[in-house]
Amino acid sequence: MRTVLMVAEKPSLAQSISKILSKGNCTSRKGLNGACSVHEYTGSFQGQSVRFKMTSVCGHVMSLDFIGKGCDYVVLWLDCDKEGENICFEVLDAIQPVMNKSSGREKSVYRAKFSSITDTDIWNAMNRLGEPNRNEALSVDARQELDLRIGCAFTRFQTKYFQGKYGNLDSSLISFGPCQTPTLGFCVERHDKIQSFKPETYWVIQAKVFKGKESPLTLDWNRVRVFDREVGQMFVNLAKTSREAQVESVSKKEKAKQRPQALNTVEMLRVASSALGMGPQHTMQIAERLYTQGYISYPRTETTQYPENFDLKGTLKQQANSPFWAEEVKTLLSAGINRPRKGTDAGDHPPITPMRAASEGELGSDGWRLYEYITRHFIATVSQDCKYLQTTIDFNIGGESFSCSGKTLISPGYTAVMPWQGIPLEEAMPVCERGDAFTVDEIKLVEKQTNPPDYLTEAELITLMEKHGIGTDASIPVHINNICQRNYVTVENGRKLKPTNLGIVLVHGYYKIDAELVLPTIRSAVEKQLNLIALGKANFQQVLQHALDIFKRKFHYFVDSITSMDELMEVSFSPIAATGKPLSRCGKCHRFMKYIQAKPSRLHCSHCDETYSLPQNGAIKLYKELRCPLDDFELVLWTSGARGKSYPLCPYCFSNPPFRDMKKGMGCNECTHPSCQHSLNSLGIGQCVECDSGVLVLDPTSGPKWRMACNKCNVVVHFFEHAHRVQVAQDSCDACDASLVAVDFNKTRSPLPAGETQHTGCVFCDQIFQDLVELKHATMRHPMHRGRGRRGNPKKPKDKMAALAAYFV
């Protein structure tokens, strides 16, 4: 029997698809990597009985562990966008060398195209299999290579150039990206407009009139405003010559507020930010979850027009029993749905729609809010337009023209399901006709000022990015998230994006050196070329080389002109020598070095003009004024907090490893110095009970709540609480080679018999010690550094260690 291998993009998708195609009759087992399961069943394929095996990748293929047992056919169920096409060929590169050879011209590779995880869509895809699109995959390859090479070159250079110069430059990575930087540019451009804005004073005439006992009516001046007070006063004086306001005309006009077009990704992101208060990255994560669970269609699409064969009525019927919009849905089904507005067919996926009914309990808070909006939007697209009557009354007061207008709802149409877009209730307009006279209640000149624009909201930024072709519907959230994560902008109330000092200086610096690095024009042009690759109208290698040549020249010019940006940095940030607080002594000049907390945290000796790296994401303090025996630098102590772990380190050795078996970024708990009292050789106890390469090292600062911690992973072992002293002995355990530990217990709390207080033994094997040991996982804020020492290679005591590990769990 032949075998058909089917590959999806996520484990959850593989499970859902195999369940639909096997009609629930598949067996499942864990794959080799433990993350991607394999679902197997027997069925029919191309007119023959076959064995189906469904599995998945986890995003892009980064490593290969495909066991070459062979298969006859492969069906690719990757996401149906350009990224998905790219992953198709990554999968094929891994499996084609070990596939069974097909006979003659028999086709062995198939591509499934689908837009939702429903029985109908999945079976339609299975019955209409096509081929993966090589051109779309190549366009993604080109984009990835361009972004990586350009981003790495600029990022590495400017990070290295500026990091060691300014102490309060709060960024551990000063990144550049062909899309990220123009995105930041939009935010800084708005900031500059706000800063350069000069308010202007202007004047308006405010008039109030009434008729009989009706409440006063406030009129709008037809000249709107004047910027000269004397001119404004002249018009006021003219108007005041009359005590009556004559009705010049009364017009009534029926108007319509159009229902929305079908929903695409960009509009969903805009509304989620402005109306739901959800960031673009978070919104896409939720949308992808709703999609994989079968609640909505594929959430990445540029299309705003339903296909001709789209089952609008069937999709609407699924919502007929919802307590939130059942009445509107049933009315539409009985009266007949309205033809949706014509939109744009981008040739990718259908618009985003609900695929089945749901409740808040099923989806959770944010999931429900996004699903509710998507569903209401869909219902609105097949509803009638909102209709209202607009009444406008024109007045003449002393020769000056004024007017007022009001809206009266005729039929709510689509706003019944999207009430936030409804016509607000207004006070009814007075009944009058041409020639009627109203009494003037008040006429006065009001002084006002023009206001600056506000900071860009995420929704406005998304609109600008779409307009200028910066990023795709899939990558726009990533670029916005990057400029937030890199400390270039902060998200203020109302999801407004306010540039930081660093973000402003970078953009202004790019403008001084080469404005095209930050303007959207060059990236927009590159995106057009990439789209031509996807359409098969441009050569991959030519487009790639042309873009790289342009940016190569720009990079060299940027490097030569970096002092222009540095001049702006000097104004905005303090020199490293003038930053920080004295902490520990330099081993070269014996003067105090300053501790700079701003990321990346580091020590700086202003006398020697040297900067020394430190571990990040923790607290640094002086370690008992003790010195490194190799270089005479005072040791410092890094700690991740009371529930975390801590270790001493020499600032010089941390950046300049003293021994061949050490690497940069190692503390004393990984130092292989043979005799230093702080080194791994002196404080290492035994191999970690969880990871293979780590060593459990005594934390000499942890008393009276003593602990040892792995110098690789986040395992922390608490032991001998309230003991006076814990020391690592020179002798080793006969059973497991771990170092023995000498403990001096508190007399009142000693677990030893006959009131004894001192005992030396193995924490893994000693019966007295075993009940005093407790394993925990440290609260870590950074990945631990790697290394190996002499005590890093004790043999694991097979039975004792297994028993201890089981006890810990």
Residues 6+ away with beta carbon under 8 Å from 242: 397, 398, 399, 440
Residues 6+ away with beta carbon under 8 Å from 393: 247, 249, 250, 403, 404, 405, 429, 430, 432
The position carrying tokens 């805009």 is: 270
In 3D, which of 547, 654, 527 has the Cα closest to residue 603? 654
Q: Please count the other Cβ atoms lying within 10 Å of the Cβ belonging to residue 557.
A: 13
Residue 197 per-residue DSSP state: -
Between CA 593 and CA 612 the distance in angstroms is 10
Alpha-carbon torsion, ordered 20, 24, 27, 33, to 10 deg: 40
The position carrying tokens 């056919």 is: 73
Can you list the alpha helix ranges (DSSP code H) found in 275-354? Answer: 280-292, 312-317, 326-335
Q: Which residues pair with 613 in a beta bridge?
A: 602
Residues 6+ away with beta carbon under 8 Å from 399: 238, 239, 242
Between CA 237 and CA 445 the distance in angstroms is 10
Per-residue 3-state assignment (H helix, E strand, C coil) for 83-148: HHHHHHHHHHHHHHHHCCCCCCCCCCEEECCCCCCCHHHHHHHHHCCECCCHHHHHHHHHHHHHHH
Query: Is 371 a residue of the active site?
Result: no
Give me the amino acid identity at 323.
P
One of 298, 488, 595, 623 is an active-site residue; which one? 298
603, 651 Cβ separation under 8 angstroms? yes
Q: Is the peptide bond before 704 cis (omega within 30 degrees of 0)?
A: yes
The CA-based diameter of the chain, rounded to the nearest angstrom, is 114
Residue 575 per-residue DSSP state: B
Give catalytic residues, as residue numbers.
Answer: 298
